[in-house]
Structure 1
Amino acid sequence: MVAVGTYIAGRLVFRDGFEDAGWQWGKPGHYVYAFGLALFLWAFSRIVEQLLGIYEAPKDVNITTILAEFLLSFTITLIPAFSEEFGWRGYLLPRLFTRYSTRYALLLHGFITWVWHLPVVVVMGTQLGGNPLISVPLIMLISLIPTIMHAVVFAYIWSSTQSLAVATVYHAAFDEVRDSIEGTVGLGPLSQNWQMLILTILGIALLWKAKWKVKSRKVLD
């Protein structure tokens, strides 16, 4: 639906096109970094949990099972991942850059992506147990800053590579490294909190220090 809405906006409503969306493949190294970051966020912390005995994996699961599940789900997830990257980074963000300061545009686009994911966040809150009037607002509050900062990370990947393809691969890798591990060996408390901590720190650092490739374009009212 993100891609459909974006296409309608760019072709039928505002008619400003998608020339600045990032129609480049990027360099091979970009994809290595994209996969590396996804593995660092999920697999690294899971390995640490296993080595320290914090969260033990089931005895009947092996690396082949994890890889097979990842490859299948990663291939399928490329489609919705591209949809979001096309909408949030390829279309929304360049237009926010023309109206607001770089930092404000990044934060605003991150907040919008958080709002888009609120149905998932609400479901997570109801699954925590207890009173949903407490658990749902709590999980919403906890997810707000990490989600916005992760959007900044997504934006930097897209901006620095000028490639929707690289951003899409990172998006799919992030989701499916997580889901493949969770569906096979499980995610312990370190794994679940590690990625939020790292993404928050990384997002703040990029927001504060990174040099952003912002293209000037005509604003259509």
Structure 2
Amino acid sequence: MAITSSKYTLPIYVLLTFLISWSLWFTSGIFSRPAPAEIRDFPWFIAQLGVFMPSILALLFFSLSGNQKRKVSLAAIFLIFIPVVLLGAWIAAAAPDKILHLNSLHAIIVIIVALWVMVFFSSLNPCQKDLGLEPQSSLKRTGWILLSLLFLPALFLISWVLASFSGGVFTATVLTGNVTKVLWSIILLFAFNLLCAGALGEEIGWRGFVLPRLLEKSSPLRASFILAVIWASWHLPIDIRYGFGLTGAGGIVVRFLWTWPLTIIFTWFYLRSKKSLLVPLLLHASINMLSDFGFSNYEQTISVMFLIQIPVAIILGFRLSGKLPFDSSK
């Protein structure tokens, strides 16, 4: 029996992902630091290898499946992850203290590699159908790609305005300066966050491997809740050490509360885009990059954004639960 068809495949995958990711994080030495450091040095690089594990292990499991997934999985490992890992090591050797302090050559290559990743996981690559991509009109697919880029940043900006009313302070350090500088900063932050801040490292695993297997036996809503538990639990060492909104046990609770509505939103986008892996990649990168913009009232904004996400997730959850017929073609 192929490993990916066994009933034990998902538990084995989750166990290995947690074990290898956590081992790399602990051995990297980053938890000895008083706070998550901006510096991208070799401890960061080792920890980053742990961040890549959900996706890399998913591709390795696919490569053992004995079907059409093998070809595209091996291609992704050799054409995407090996170049990204080498790029990460190169950046770590320079040890920039901020993403926007990357030298010009590093920055240009980061952007080029990010573009290549987006092309590889888009419908422009016919092999994506072997990872679950279903047919969809070009107009609809383009619409979902654009929406996945803009939806969470738009939600954040609305929350930022609401959170900033009381203090009256509206500042974002990255958005100051001439237009060329601002656009360059946004593109570079997005590209780096796509490659090295969770999006590429996680989404092929969570949405590309785990979610489809959960959907075989569960409704999309139930699958989203299970996936949210896995996704949030994977962050446990980070949240125990540094907190997430709160410190200690409170940070763990906040992580789970934050992840549940977000997972429902990701599931909705993934299914409506006909299982495009590019869409969750863009969603993940677009929300992660916001912490690098230097927004005033950032923590208050995230709290407001969470409150807005709850009714959004409830509405989408009814569609995903089966209480209302879910048709991804609509």
Distance, in Å, in 2 between the alignment partners of 1:91 and 1:60 is 35
Q: 2:124 matched to 1:33? A: no
Verify the 8 A CA contact 1:49 1:55 in the aligned structure 2. no
Equivalent residue number for residue 72 of structure 2: none
2:237 equivalent among 106, 115, 119: 119
CA change 1:200–1:60 in 2 (3 A) is closer
Distance, in Å, in 1 between the alignment partners of 2:301 and 2:244 is 21
Verify the 8 A CA contact 2:163 2:304 in the aligned structure 1. no
SS in 1 for 2:171: coil
Q: How does 1:94-113 map to 2 (within 5 A)?
A: 94-113=212-231
Q: 2:63 matched to 1:11? A: yes
Task: State the 1:172 CA deviation.
Answer: 0.8
| CA-to-aligned-CA distance 1:6-54 (integer Å, 9 cap, x gap) | 0122222x55664343377862222332233122222222244455534
2:264 equivalent among 136, 152, 159: 152
Moved more, 192-201 or 62-71: 62-71
Distance, in Å, in 2 between the alignment partners of 1:37 and 1:156 is 12
Verify the 8 A CA contact 2:228 2:256 in the aligned structure 1. no
CA change 1:85–1:17 in 2 (3 A) is farther
CA change 1:173–1:59 in 2 (3 A) is closer
Distance, in Å, in 1 between the alignment partners of 2:172 and 2:218 is 50
Distance, in Å, in 2 between the alignment partners of 1:172 and 1:119 is 21
Task: State the 1:68 CA deviation.
Answer: 3.4
Moved more, 197-206 or 63-72: 63-72
Verify the 8 A CA contact 1:152 1:203 in the aligned structure 2. yes
Among the aligned pairs, what percent are the same residue? 20
Q: How does 1:1-221 map to 2 (within 5 A)?
A: 1-12=53-64, 15=66, 18=69, 19-22=130-133, 27-50=141-164, 52-57=166-171, 62=176, 64=178, 67-79=183-195, 80-125=198-243, 135-162=247-274, 163-176=276-289, 178-181=290-293, 184-210=294-320, 211=326, 213=328
Q: Which runs of 5+ in 1 are unaligned?
A: 129-134, 215-221
Q: Point out the structure with max Rg over C-alpha.
A: 2
Verify the 8 A CA contact 1:81 1:168 in the aligned structure 2. yes
Distance, in Å, in 2 between the alignment partners of 1:20 and 1:97 is 15
Distance, in Å, in 2 between the alignment partners of 1:212 and 1:116 is 31
Verify the 8 A CA contact 2:245 2:299 in the aligned structure 1. no
Distance, in Å, in 1 between the alignment partners of 2:160 and 2:300 is 7
Distance, in Å, in 2 between the alignment partners of 1:60 and 1:88 is 30
CA change 1:9–1:40 in 2 (3 A) is same
RMSD of aligned alpha carbons: 3.1
| CA-to-aligned-CA distance 1:56-100 (integer Å, 9 cap, x gap) | 537996165554332112112223413322111111111111123
Distance, in Å, in 1 between the alignment partners of 2:303 and 2:283 is 19
CA change 1:50–1:123 in 2 (3 A) is same
Verify the 8 A CA contact 2:174 2:182 in the aligned structure 1. no
Tell me the number of residue pairs that the alignment of Structure 1 and Structure 2 aligns: 204
Task: State the 1:213 CA deviation.
Answer: 4.1
1:157 partner amino acid: F
Verify the 8 A CA contact 1:34 1:170 in the aligned structure 2. yes
Verify the 8 A CA contact 1:159 1:212 in the aligned structure 2. no
Task: State the 1:187 CA deviation.
Answer: 3.3
Verify the 8 A CA contact 2:220 2:267 in the aligned structure 1. no
Distance, in Å, in 2 between the alignment partners of 1:203 and 1:59 is 31
Distance, in Å, in 2 between the alignment partners of 1:70 and 1:58 is 12
Verify the 8 A CA contact 1:146 1:200 in the aligned structure 2. no
CA change 1:50–1:138 in 2 (3 A) is closer
Distance, in Å, in 2 between the alignment partners of 1:185 and 1:114 is 25
